[in-house]
Amino acid sequence: MITYHLKESLPTAKQKRRDAQKKDPNNYPTPDQLRAEAEEEEPGILITILDAEGKTVRQFSAPSSAGLHRVPWDMRLASAVPSGPRSVEADDDSFGFSQGGSPAMPGKYSATISKRVNGVVAPLAGPIDFQLRYVGPSPLPPADLKLLVEFQKQMTKLHRDLAAVQGTSREITTKLNQMKVILDQLPEAPAESRERVRKLITNQREIARKLNGDSVLSARNENVPMSIAERVGVADDGTYLLTAKPTGTQREQFAIARKEVDDLSAALRKLTETDLKELETLLDKLGAPWTPGRLPAGK
């Protein structure tokens, strides 16, 4: 539990202006001030957890109101896929308010508290050192613990790369579907361009099935091949226990998923840099309406 006290809350620009108007009611805001208030990033408190080497392993938001606050760290590392900022203003003592990744290994850590105002982070207190110890019946020996730490790092990178491939695949599918609609509406569009975009869409559907599974057949209780996301899930189970090193099955699933993610990443990169650009160039020549991600060529 991280306990801290704020003498004053972090005011927004709007709050500062209202306080000033109490002293001078004739002090009307300018258009620039109103715009700045509407676009201001809300100030906040950040708690940062660092390891023994001073490297940040976790950072999350905390209450910024005046008073005493107690905020928990769930003793997990940062997730490879950020879930967005979370607030604990509603319940300062609620655990699990910020989804983390793998469990942090036993050892020395430290915590700092900072404030972020207008995007600028300034330290407030710390670092305060503390020791994370394992409490249980059968901790891993040092050699196996070292293997687990390395596997955690590999899984974190795999999670990050999988999320990138999944997101890019969805973006490409959106672009291709819109291109298909536009090409079908253009009588002067070459027939081969319509065929080409449909083949690319079919290819994207196959990529989506490899990534996330065959939802059509699985919904009908048919046997389907294991998806990359499922393989990553099996391998990921090897990072959440401090009492056992990753099994052979988990390492095998990791190796398969790692290769498949790399292969699909290369395929999507070629599709983005070659096929999509060629189709966008054709649409520009045809004077086609806008499609996602395509800027006007200008004069």
pLDDT tens, 210-254? 999 988 888 888 888 899 999 999 998 888 777 788 899 999 999
The residue-averaged pLDDT of 106-135 equals: 91
Q: Kindly give the interhelix angle for 191-212 and 142-185, rounded to the nearest 10 degrees.
A: 150
Mean pLDDT of the chain: 86
Q: Tell me the C-alpha distance between 15 and 9, whole Å.
A: 11
Can you give the pLDDT at residue 99? 59
Residues 106/113, Cβ–Cβ less than 8 Å: no
Most confidently modeled of 17-21, 83-87, 274-278? 274-278
Does residue 154 register a pLDDT over 60? yes
Can you give the pLDDT at residue 172? 94
* Full DSSP string of 188-226: TS-HHHHHHHHHHHHHHHHHHHHHH--HHHHTTT---PP
Q: What is the percentage of the chain residues whose pLDDT exceeds 90?
A: 53
Can you give the pLDDT at residue 260? 96
Handedness of CA 92, 96, 99, 104 (dihedral sign): positive
The residue-averaged pLDDT of 183-207 equals: 93
Which long-range CB contacts under 8 A does 252-258 form with residues at least 24 apart? 254/151, 254/154, 254/155, 254/158, 256/231, 257/158, 257/162, 257/228, 257/231, 257/232, 258/154, 258/158
Reported as type and span, the H/E element at residue 107 is strand 107-117
Q: 88 falls in which pLDDT band (50, 70, 90)? A: very low
Q: 98 falls in which pLDDT band (50, 70, 90)? A: very low
Instruction: Calculate ∠ Cα 226-230-233, nearest 5°.
Output: 150
- Sheet of strand 107-117: strand arrangement: 56-62, 44-50, 107-117, 120-132
Does residue 45 register a pLDDT over 90? yes
